[in-house]
Structure 1
Amino acid sequence: MRAAILEKQGQPIQIVDDVEIAMPRQGEVCIKVAFCSLCHSDYSVVSGVYPVSEPIIVGHEAAGVVVSVGPGVKSLAAGDHVVINAIYPCGQCYFCQRGNFGICSYSSPGLMTHTLPDGETGLLRHGRRVLRGIGAGALAEYTIAPEASAVRIDPDIPLDVACVTGCAVRTGVGAVLNTADVEAGATVLILGCGGVGLSAIQGARLTAARIVIASDPNPTRREMALRLGATHVLDPAREDVVASTLSLTNGIGADYGFETAGIAQLIETAINAIRPGGTAVCVGAPPFEDSATIRNVVLFASQEKKLTGSLLGGAHPKFDIERLLSFWKTGRLDLESLITCKRPLSEINEAFQDLKEGKGIRTVIEISG
């Protein structure tokens, strides 16, 4: 099959047509990928920030059409339109039984191992194993996916629009609705206005948050933030984000602060900008070696501040993807504005260069749309 394969990190991706893909096994489906949007996590693999030692096909924010199913598959059939999800609940592990679907011990390791749960990938090239990047390997004509990771959607929903719900939108909106459970009338600070941050802004708007402050050095992204629901925007290169947040909240601080840019230092900003009793949420994915510091633990504890992580919005894909798309259908969630560029698979290296330079929000790659 045709695929965009990275043979060595830091080098250009190659478009090849000789990748072998296995037939779907028990509980698996084969999906013809239509569109895949690029996420910064993909770039972190391509650039070497997240190291891998084998050839890899990245891409995990994707949608397509089921072409065949393996034995035991009951909820999907050939012809179904689906959104692919890198993490999905097994329903049986310790975490799933407690509602922590985002950290399912069966599926979540695939984000780091770039394999299926049993360690296989179903991909070969010249007799050598190829990894399925970030739990999907979707920058290819086809991908093999566990049944639970493919969420069926209405066939009238454009697949190029639906694909962004698989990661960016699910992560940003989910961090607000699921992880933080933001209440109506709350004050919210969003640090970073990329695809995840802009989705978090829309999530805050969905909750009827009273004040939504968005911070980003890119003026185009700040303008987009205002369009999508921010009440105030800050330029962190020119303004003190903590001081400005305190000023906008009458000296109290934000009820919730979300770090969505994948910059560890911004976690500290979120902690300092929230009120006593407030919650800081780590949403972005910084490099492995980066860290954040709670500089005065006694003060942090005595103010009863809370710090929590959020992986892919703590979402249950079958519930949350349907919910997100229902918001979109009723005009409550803007997905199209997040898609600022579309490119064919042959321009994958140019697309990643745009991502590196911070151009646009989400670039959608057409695989077989």
Structure 2
Amino acid sequence: MSDQAQARAAVVRQKGGPFQIEDVTLEAPRESEVRVRIVATGMCHTDMIVRDQFYAVPLPVVLGHEGAGIVEKVGRGVTKVVPGDHVVIAFAFCGKCDLCTTGHPAYCREFYDRNFGGGRKDGSTATQAQGKPLHDHFFGQSSFSTLAIATERNVVKVRKDVPLELLGPLGCGISTGAGAVLNSMRIPAGSTFAAFGSGAVGLSAIMAARLAGATTIIAVDVKPNRLQLAMALGATHTVNGASEDAVKVIRTATGSRGVDFALESTGNPRILRQAVEALDILGTCGVVGAPPMGTEAAFDVNDLMVPGKRIQGIVEGDSVPDVFIPQLIDLFMQGRFPFDKLVKFYALEQINEAAKDSEKGDTLKPIIRMSRPA
């Protein structure tokens, strides 16, 4: 078909296997779809846990869900964007259920099917390699590719005076951390906050807590370089969990009270328990860390019930991407949300190196720059 397009994509073909760079073919966008020429895509923890099949997305698949690029072609029914627009691609959602229509698209009743189903809602895919279908539409995009098919709903038009290659992580990881603070927990000025895990999500939460006016901001991690960066980005205290008792240090820093708010981003049940134990009376612990399906955590029921503590699950920072992503970009341009300090760039051909560096903790937020298709 003349409307098909050729691209290069990183394909995962087996559980735990490498990303393989392959030539692929994408069909033309359908009625409500948008084809985006990807400039760069952030790499997120979720990409790796799906590669390793912690979440059972069908293989072979093109992953990538923090894409940023330029609109190349739109379906006949699309009015939100036109070719040439700069966009960040966020998560997929139906736009019609009660949760979507009341401002909570991250909790869409079809969220799992649309983001982890390995294709469109009807089961079809847009991508082929060697004449055989590849699973795609991961988070409504599969943007570890020089071209991606998204929907009108999950592309976010952004201003053109910002380096587009920086913006992809706003579609998931950065928005998750910042949104957990600003949208989900709505941390008020003067409050106390602890980030358990100071990776890209935790550090984004620390920057957001400073924006919100939190007066005590505590970063917990086991890597000294991350804790040092946390101080530069707004933390008032740090805890090295490898050598210090996080709960004890946090209680000391807060006059024996504990923190009003905590965010757990490691996916480690033991750390989650610490985050709950570190809360003050009526404190809230937000949970964004993603462990394997079926992971269970333990806590003292009376320590939760008697002080009125809360544990809150959070997806995508409970954001409305069309609103929140442009807000974060404006804050970045004002120098108030310097998320660029978290990133390191890699070429598409270096994607496995980027994954290893991320898993080792050497790189906070890899961004994969896309070469043009051959």
The TM tier, using the shorter chain, reads over 0.9
Counterpart for residue 370 of structure 2: 367
Matched, 1:94 2:98: yes
1:279 is paired with a residue of what secondary structure?
Answer: strand
The one-letter code sitting in structure 2 at the alignment partner of 1:5 is: V
Counterpart for residue 337 of structure 1: 341
Counterpart for residue 297 of structure 2: 292
Counterpart for residue 19 of structure 2: 13
Of 350, 354, 360 in structure 2, the residue corresponding to residue 351 of structure 1 is 354
Counterpart for residue 131 of structure 1: 135
2:281 is paired with a residue of what secondary structure?
Answer: strand
Q: Render the CA deviation track for 1:101-139: whole Å, top value 9, x for unaligned.
A: 211124453232132333333112234331223442101
CA contact (8 A) 2:207 2:337 kept: yes
- Provide TM-score, normalisation by structure 1: 0.95
Query: Matches of 1:135 and 1:191 in 2, distance apart?
Result: 29
CA contact (8 A) 1:38 1:59 kept: yes
Matches within 5 A, 1:271-290: 271-290=276-295
The one-letter code sitting in structure 1 at the alignment partner of 2:324 is: D
Q: Kindly tell me: are residues 53 and 62 of structure 1, through their superposed partners in 2, closer, same or farther at Cα, counting changes over 3 Å?
A: closer
Q: How many residues align?
A: 365
Matches within 5 A, 1:218-297: 218-295=223-300, 297=301
CA contact (8 A) 2:41 2:67 kept: yes
Question: What's the Cα RMSD here?
Answer: 1.5
Overall identity of the aligned pairs, in %: 34
Counterpart for residue 109 of structure 2: 105
Of 198, 206, 215 in structure 1, the residue corresponding to residue 203 of structure 2 is 198
Query: Matches of 1:86 and 1:344 in 2, distance apart?
Result: 24
- Provide TM-score, normalisation by structure 2: 0.94
Matched, 1:313 2:317: yes
Between 310-319 and 124-133, report the one with greater CA deviation.
124-133
Query: Matches of 1:53 and 1:165 in 2, distance apart?
Result: 26
Query: Matches of 1:178 and 1:337 in 2, distance apart?
Result: 23
- Offset at 1:230? 0.5
Of 67, 81, 84 in structure 1, the residue corresponding to residue 86 of structure 2 is 81
Query: Matches of 1:14 and 1:226 in 2, distance apart?
Result: 38
1:148 is paired with a residue of what secondary structure?
Answer: coil
Mark the runs of 5 or more structure 2 residues left unpaired by the alignment.
Answer: 1-6
CA contact (8 A) 1:75 1:147 kept: yes
The one-letter code sitting in structure 2 at the alignment partner of 1:367 is: M
- Offset at 1:68? 0.4
CA contact (8 A) 2:93 2:100 kept: no
Between 126-135 and 92-101, report the one with greater CA deviation.
126-135
Q: Render the CA deviation track for 1:180-208: whole Å, top value 9, x for unaligned.
A: 00000000010001110100000100101
